[in-house]
Structure 1
Amino acid sequence: MRVIEPIVKFDLALSLFCLQHRFSYPLARISRAISHTGDGHLYIVIGGIAFLVDGIAGQALLITGLISFLIELPLYWLFKNIFQRRRPQEFSSRVIAYITPSDRFSLPSGHTSAAFLMATLIASFYPSLSIMVFLWAGCIGAARILLGVHFFTDVLIGALLGISCAQAGQLVTEWMI
């Protein structure tokens, strides 16, 4: 437990820094819109458009995305329930949550995991979009912190989970083909 204590202190201090300033409410409004792009609807649209418009590469993106999410979702659920990390507002009454999260625990950030999974796949299939999609995924992670529902390490571990699951999905897809 002593090893984790400095991480928890850092996470809480960063959350308080991000949420206790005069710009926190306007940033939360912007963050809510950014976070909403990571709710899942956009991933379906991206996969569908790629499938319809880009032939074999689009079909491969869709299939690889489905396989990657089949890997990511159970792992996400398993980690949430193993770690059972409380959300930032449960650690301190000074942390403001601007939205109600969809589940109880914070580690890992599912929005961040899914965003980095998609960014990794899109960057793999369409390298010219790499900078844009990773910036977008990073903004989703930052938005989750600025909304007061995740700590920095939740977002970091979510990003690593998403990237890893995308790479695993690519390996499975290559093995199947």
Structure 2
Amino acid sequence: MAVTVLVPIQRFDYAFSSLCLCHRFNQPVATLSRMVSRSGDGPLYLLFGLLAWVFDRQQGGQVLGLGLLAFLLELPVYLLLKNTFKRNRPAQLPSFIQPSDKYSLPSGHTAAAFLMASLISTFYPAAAWLVWPWAMLIGFSRVLLGVHFITDIVAGALLGMMCFDVVKGAI
């Protein structure tokens, strides 16, 4: 039964990725996507937390602490899911970067970006208009670079938001 459900999802993923990757503008799109994706590599998250801690005397410590706790939950869950599902990355489609690991589900970049968007918009709601589109762009950039399927992105987004909500609810 599960196999019959996965086949349409896999077909959809390949069709969507083909649409995103197999066109004459894929090189310039990949160049822009690489820059967007790099903004989600991690150092920016640490910088944000440290800046909040230094400059926001009222809630900066809470921002940094909650962010660290959320990532302490997200990273092991991400690794467990990735090594449990062992979903291969897109094959027979253009890939514009070398991924850091073998498997694609869930997208770690997307999980981290959505965790950060949740954190930032919780403490600084005026920034929500900026951080949510940025998180979505990071996720979509991973598809445009040929290293993830769109369902990997959805799973990563859900993982990031759920980990933040769990930690926020526990405190």
Name the TM-score class by shorter chain.
over 0.9
**Secondary structure at the counterpart of residue 132 of structure 1:** helix
For 2:87, give the aligned amino acid.
R
CA distance in 1: counterparts of 2:29 and 2:167, whole angstroms:
34
**Is 2:41 the counterpart of 1:39?**
yes
Residue 100 of structure 1 is matched in structure 2 by 98
Q: Secondary structure at the match of 1:141?
A: helix
In 2, Cα distance between equivalents of 1:14 and 1:39: 24
Size of the aligned set, in residue pairs, is: 169
RMSD: 0.6
Q: What is residue 63 of structure 1 aligned with on the other side?
A: 65
Question: In structure 2, the residue corresponding to 1:55 is in which secondary structure?
Answer: coil
Once the 2 structures are TM-superposed, how far is the Cα of residue 171 of structure 1 from its aligned partner?
A: 1.7
1:52-91 alignment runs, 5 A limit: 52-89=54-91
Distance 1:10 1:162 in 2: 23
Instruction: Give the structure-2-normalised TM-score.
Output: 0.97
Residue deviations 1:114-147 (CA, integer Å, cap 9, x gap): 0000000000000001121000000000100000
Q: Within 1, Cα distance between the matches of 2:167 and 2:116?
A: 11
Shift of 1:168: 1.1
Q: State the match for 1:23 in structure 2.
A: 25
Taking the aligned partners of 2:10 and 2:149, their CA distance within structure 1 comes to 9
Following superposition, the deviation at residue 169 of structure 1 comes to 1.6
Q: CA deviation at 1:56?
A: 3.2
Cα distance in 1 for partners of 2:129, 2:15 equals 29
**Structure 2 letter corresponding to 1:155:** I
Q: 1:131 aligns with which of 129, 132, 143?
A: 129
For residues 99-128 of structure 1, the C-alpha deviation after alignment (integer angstroms, 9 at most, x for no partner) is 000011000000000000000000000000
Matches of 1:58 and 1:137, distance apart in 2: 21
Percent identity over paired residues = 50
The one-letter amino acid paired with 1:8 is Q
User: Match of 2:58, SS?
Assistant: helix
Q: 2: distance between equivalents of 1:160 and 1:109?
A: 10
Letter in structure 1 aligned against 2:117: A
| Matched residue SS, 2:117 | helix
